[in-house]
């Protein structure tokens, strides 16, 4: 893992702020984001594309973590925004994000969501089904609007990742299959609709991907598809969106490639696949989510009860769990953690970190070496910035944590801690 920063008192420090101060000011559980790290990741994507010489858009996949302040940060970093529901779209619009840089995804967008996006005049709809192809066009026509669309296709590429987050294979709920001819059919329909401007195609093969070959294979298939279209119908489409999915480091077993390497592999493949056949090089759009926010996030918990089962296991329980981080329970995801108040002390105790929910599966980390833990210690779990807060829930009526951004020695709340009153707000 990267070297740990500590304050003069020897506490773990994030963004120049001592975790002891963060805990004292905001309580636990607390999600802490290193704002500069998020910005650096966004800049690394943009810089790598600038070096490629291709036209591009980097759309932050807001499902990874979204709140109004994150929207503002994305705007400042010149990112576009991928939203996948009315709620994500609403958040973006509330924070004043430029609508023309919003891309709307989803395999089952409702009529209300489509109208909301039409009203906002967003930049692009990623059409995912035959139903949407008709519905969106009818709505646009009724309103006298022209809309930009991409067609989401499945290139038949199986990414090496967890089954639940693999999306590019033929047997997927998303998009139009290329190999079974559905993508062709959808394209023919789309091209005949007067209120559509078909910009191109989109594919997302999966998430937390460490190899380059999946992206390269997908680009070959997508390029063949677009070139087939050009040969048969004399239509040249200007945009190729290859989704997100770039891997990050959760524990030292994860060896993600640098952002530059992913982008270079993608842009080189595009140049090769399209350039060879004299197809005008398309604009390349990507949608990184996890790789922008995961490693910037750390969750701070307070250590509570400890159960020592002789010769078997020591459970150390914290004041959060599957309510603020569902990933271990859902995917068997692995995390690394340290004691934030004694990060440099020798780790002599093998423990398993349990959450506080009424569920045996509510375990955050199995088998972690820590210094001997005491009630009241602060546990810092690293790389929780993606799909942690965004999948947080109120199981057992546990309020969701507060979220703070830290930067250059300053901290600020970007999402307030949920209260018990919030929990009953909608109850009749
Ligand atoms: N674009 C599309 C169309 C997607 O479906 C996704 C993720 C992304 C972009 C962003 O992928 P990323 O760069 O974040 O890997 N909850 C799961 C991840 C689900 C990903 C869903 N789609 C997890 O916690 O691992």
Rounded Cα distance, 359 and 353, in Å: 13
Tell me the average pLDDT across 44-65.
98
pLDDT at 172: 87
User: Which of 206, 290, 332 maximizes ligand 1 atoms within 8 Å of its Cβ, making it the mutation to test the pocket?
Assistant: 290
How many residues does the structure list for the chain?
A: 428
Tell me the average pLDDT across 92-107.
98
pTM for the model: 0.97
pLDDT beyond 70 at 168: no
The catalytically annotated residue of 124, 192, 233, 358 is: 358
The residue nearest atom 19 of ligand 1, judged by CA position, is 165
pLDDT beyond 90 at 86: yes
β strands within 72-115, DSSP E: 80-83, 102-104
Least confident of 70-84, 156-170, 240-254, 413-427: 156-170
Are 340 and 379 a contacting pair, CB within 8 Å?
yes
Instruction: Check residues 10 and 278 and name the one with the higher pLDDT.
Output: 10
Tell me the average pLDDT across 141-156.
97
Banded pLDDT at 277 (limits 50, 70, 90): confident
Are 182 and 131 a contacting pair, CB within 8 Å?
no
Rounded Cα distance, 339 and 380, in Å: 6
Q: Dump the DSSP string for 18-32.
A: EHHHHHHHH-SSEEE
Digit-coded pLDDT (tens) for 213-246: 999 999 999 999 999 999 999 999 999 999 999 9
Least confident of 195-204, 205-214, 334-343: 205-214
Of all helices (H) and strands (E), which one includes residue 271?
helix 259-275
The residue nearest atom 21 of ligand 1, judged by CA position, is 165
pLDDT beyond 60 at 38: yes
Atom of ligand 1 nearest to the CA of 64: 14
The residue nearest atom 23 of ligand 1, judged by CA position, is 387
DSSP 164: G
Tell me what percent of the residues of the chain surpass a pLDDT of 70: 97
Least confident of 150-154, 159-163, 304-308: 159-163
Tell me what percent of the residues of the chain surpass a pLDDT of 90: 93
Atom of ligand 1 nearest to the CA of 152: 3
Are 259 and 210 a contacting pair, CB within 8 Å?
no
Tell me the average pLDDT across 247-261.
97
Cβ within 8 Å of residue 176, ≥6 positions away = 151, 152, 153, 154, 182, 183, 185, 186
pLDDT beyond 80 at 167: no
pLDDT at 171: 84
Rounded Cα distance, 274 and 271, in Å: 6
Which residues form the pocket of ligand 1, taking CB atoms under 6 Å from any ligand atom? 61, 64, 82, 105, 165, 167, 204, 207-208, 243-246, 287-291, 327, 331, 386-387
pLDDT at 105: 98
Angle among Cα 172, 173, 179 to the nearest 5 degrees reads 45
pLDDT at 162: 56
pLDDT at 169: 73
Dihedral, 367, 372, 374, 379 alpha carbons, nearest 10:
-50
pLDDT at 165: 54
**Average pLDDT value for the chain:** 96
Atom of ligand 1 nearest to the CA of 294: 14
Q: Which domains does the chain have, with CATH numbers?
A: 5-34+296-424 (2.40.37.10), 53-291 (3.20.20.10)
Nearest residue to 12 via CA among 344, 425, 280: 344
pLDDT beyond 80 at 170: no
For residue 340, report the distance from its CA to the centre of ligand 1, in Å: 29
pLDDT beyond 70 at 106: yes
Banded pLDDT at 276 (limits 50, 70, 90): confident
Told to judge if 358 belongs to the known catalytic residues of this protein, a careful annotator would answer yes
pLDDT beyond 80 at 347: yes
Digit-coded pLDDT (tens) for 114-143: 999 999 999 999 999 999 999 999 999 999
For residue 169, report the distance from its CA to the centre of ligand 1, in Å: 15
Cα distance from N-terminal residue to C-terminal residue, the chain: 48
Are 76 and 98 a contacting pair, CB within 8 Å?
no
Tell me the average pLDDT across 344-369.
97
pLDDT at 66: 98
């Amino acid at each position: 893992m990267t070297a740990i920063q500590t304050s003069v008192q020897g506490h773990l420090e994030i963004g120049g702020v001592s975790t002891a101060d963060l805990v004292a000011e905001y309580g636990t559980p607390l999600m802490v984001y290193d704002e500069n790290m998020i910005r650096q990741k966004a800049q690394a994507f943009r810089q790598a594309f600038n070096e490629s010489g291709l036209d591009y858009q980097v759309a932050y996949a807001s499902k990874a973590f979204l709140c109004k302040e994150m929207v503002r940060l994305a705007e400042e970093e010149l990112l576009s925004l991928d939203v996948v529901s009315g709620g994500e779209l609403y958040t973006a619009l509330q924070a004043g994000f430029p609508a023309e840089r919003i891309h709307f995804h989803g395999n089952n967008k409702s009529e209300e969501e489509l109208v909301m996006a039409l009203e906002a005049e967003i930049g692009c709809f990623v059409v995912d089904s035959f139903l949407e192809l008709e519905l969106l066009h009818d709505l646009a026509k009724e309103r006298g609007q022209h809309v930009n669309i991409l067609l989401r296709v499945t290139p038949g590429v199986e990414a090496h990742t967890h089954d639940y987050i693999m999306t590019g294979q033929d047997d997927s709920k998303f998009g139009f299959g290329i190999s079974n001819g559905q993508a062709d059919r959808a394209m023919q329909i789309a091209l005949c609709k007067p209120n559509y401007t078909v910009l191109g195609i989109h594919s997302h093969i999966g998430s937390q991907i460490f190899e380059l070959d999946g992206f390269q294979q997908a680009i070959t298939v997508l390029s063949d598809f677009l070139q087939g279209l050009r040969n048969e119908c004399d239509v040249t489409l200007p945009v190729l969106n290859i989704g997100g999915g770039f891997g990050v480091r959760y524990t030292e077993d994860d060896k993600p490639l640098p952002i530059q390497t992913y982008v270079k592999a993608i842009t080189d493949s595009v140049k090769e696949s399209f350039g060879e056949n004299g197809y005008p090089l398309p604009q390349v759009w990507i949608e990184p989510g996890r790789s922008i926010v995961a490693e910037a996030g750390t969750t701070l918990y307070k250590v509570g009860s400890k159960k020592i089962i002789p010769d078997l296991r020591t459970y150390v329980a914290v004041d959060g769990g599957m309510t603020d981080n569902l990933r271990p329970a859902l995917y068997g995801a692995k995390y690394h953690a340290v004691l934030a108040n004694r990060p440099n002390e020798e780790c002599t105790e093998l423990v398993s970190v349990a959450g506080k929910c009424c569920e045996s599966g509510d375990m955050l980390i199995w088998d972690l070496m820590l210094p001997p833990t005491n009630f009241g210690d602060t546990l810092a779990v690293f790389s929780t910035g993606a799909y942690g807060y965004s999948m947080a829930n109120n199981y057992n009526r546990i309020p969701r944590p507060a979220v703070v951004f830290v930067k250059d020695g300053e901290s600020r709340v970007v999402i307030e801690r949920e209260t018990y009153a919030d929990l009953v707000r909608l109850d009749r």
